[in-house]
Amino acid sequence: MTPGPPTSPHEVSFPAGWGDQPLAWSLTVVVAVALLVLGRRSRLAAAAGGVALLTAPAVGLVGSAVWGHYPTVDKAGSLHFYALGAHWQAFDPSAPATQLIGMSMGHLWVTALLDLALPAFAAMNAHALLNLVLGWWLGARLVEATGTPPRWALAAAFPLGLGLHALRDINWYTIEKSGLWPLVLYALMLVRAQQRGGAWITAAGAAYFWAFFYNAYWGVLGAAIGAVALLVGNRQARLAVAASVVGVLPFVAAQLPALRNAQLPPAAAFAERAALDVLAPLGGDGFGPNWNRIPLLGALDLPVILAAIAAVAFAAAALRGPGEEGRAARIQLALGAAGAGFAVLALGPATPLWGLFASLPGMWRFAKPETFFHLSILAACVLAGPVLARTRLPPWAVLLVQAALWLCFARGSSELYPAFSAWPG
């Protein structure tokens, strides 16, 4: 069994080894090294360089082949909707594409921006790379904003950029599934609103709208992040959550009519899918412990997970500390508890908690419980940063360990690391 659908008989494999594509490999390595040199002054450049190097030769093949299996139902369908200009009708509830996939087509607008300079399939390739870079960079900004020393930020945020889940989604599915960064951006804006107030409150509302528009699942997960902010945040954070709700209500109200149509599968079909796409720590569906058919050990960044567990233990020991120390410990424990709660939701219908969630208005259509585990990883990254900074190892050493584990689990598996397919056009 594989983590994705069976290969289409129409797919033509595109050989991408060093011996097959030496120019693409050479170009990718040159670009990666140049970005890493710039990365001494810019974490964005460092993230881009790291992604380029670890995913080589993807940069050099952006315009030559499809990154991932093609055609699949999801990828071919997404390109078809894009070619039809579905994103121009995103706010028309009567449009056929809107009735089928809803109004959350922000990801197609990112592809359209890249399509100004690239063919459509190449724009989606570049979009996939951009998803990884922005996830890692914004994750680094988030963990730094929440207390991680700047030089440790990229190590703490590694799973938000190069998680195996993103690679699996690039391999088979639509482009927005690998784009975790709008959700990370919303979390960052909430933190900035708490720290600085003012215009950041409005920015948080705008970021939530964008996350919801980019991917409807991020709208639901963003609401969960907002709930945590209400629990642990100050007055400014709560105002930012309120701004998020007010800003997105017209969008939700406009989307509801689009979802009342005969094209949608029945509720039972969504429930059946929700029972499959889950976190399965005890194994399931023919796999051992897995996260939606990704081996769980590989999907978890061990340095970050271990540091997050240590952070919770330290917080429990400091819970009764004086003043600010005790308050910081309570926030860390709340984040740890939230991460654990999201992991339980990611188990799907196996727990009563999912039944309560699915009974909420409209949540019968939420067919991928496994996405809640993204929030568990997000909480782990925030918790892990300060603990990693306490180690005697330099940040580059931890990054090397993370990269080595990533290469072992990702590049070592032809079922997880995106293949390259010939573009039929």
**Is 269's pLDDT higher than 80?**
no
User: Looking at residues 30-46, what average pLDDT do you find?
Assistant: 95
Q: Which of 225, 234, 144 is nearest to 196 (CA)?
A: 234
State yes or no: pLDDT of 1 exceeds 60. no
pLDDT, position 259:
65
- Report the percentage of the chain scoring pLDDT > 90: 66
The one-letter amino acid at 413 = S
pLDDT of residue 319: 76
| Per-residue buried b or exposed e for 155-175, using 16+ beta carbons within 10 Å of the residue's own CB | bbbbbbbbbbbbbbbbbbbbb
**How many C-beta atoms surround the C-beta of residue 48 within 10 A?**
26
Please report where in the chains the tokens 């056009």 appear, as a residue: 425
Is pLDDT at 261 greater than 70 in this prediction? Answer: no
User: pLDDT: is 96 or 263 the higher one?
Assistant: 96
pLDDT at 320 exceeding the cut of 90: no
What are the sequence ranges of the domains in the chain? 73-410
Residue 53 CB burial class (10 angstroms; 0-12, 13-18, ≥19): middle
Tell me the whole-structure pTM to 2 decimals. 0.94
Is the pLDDT score of 107 beyond 90?
A: yes
User: Strand pairing of 420-421 and 66-67?
Assistant: antiparallel
Neighbouring CB atoms inside 10 A of 344's CB total 17
By CB atoms closer than 10 A (0-12, 13-18, 19+), residue 131 is buried
User: What's the whole-number mean pLDDT along residues 91-103?
Assistant: 79
Mean pLDDT score, 44-72: 96
What's the farthest any 2 CA atoms get from each other in the chain?
66
State whether residue 308 is helix, strand or coil.
helix
Give residue 254's pLDDT: 78
**Confidence check: pLDDT of 371 > 90:** yes
Residues 186-218 have pLDDT tens digits of 999 999 999 999 999 999 999 999 999 999 999
Least confident of 67-81, 82-96, 365-379: 82-96
Q: For residues 80-95, give the mean pLDDT.
A: 86
What span, in angstroms and rounded, lies between the C-alpha atoms of 352 and 356? 7
Specify the pLDDT at position 263: 63
**Structure confidence at residue 400 (pLDDT):** 96
CB hemisphere CA count around 280 (13 angstroms): 18
364 confidence band (pLDDT: 50, 70, 90): confident
Concatenating the DSSP letter of every residue in 229-284 gives: HHHH--HHHHHHHHHHHHHHHHHHHHHHHHTSSTTSPPHHHHHHHHTTSSEETT-B
412 sits in which H/E element:
none
pLDDT at 328 over 60: yes
Q: Residue holding tokens 């071919």?
A: 76
Which has more pLDDT, 324 or 108? Answer: 108
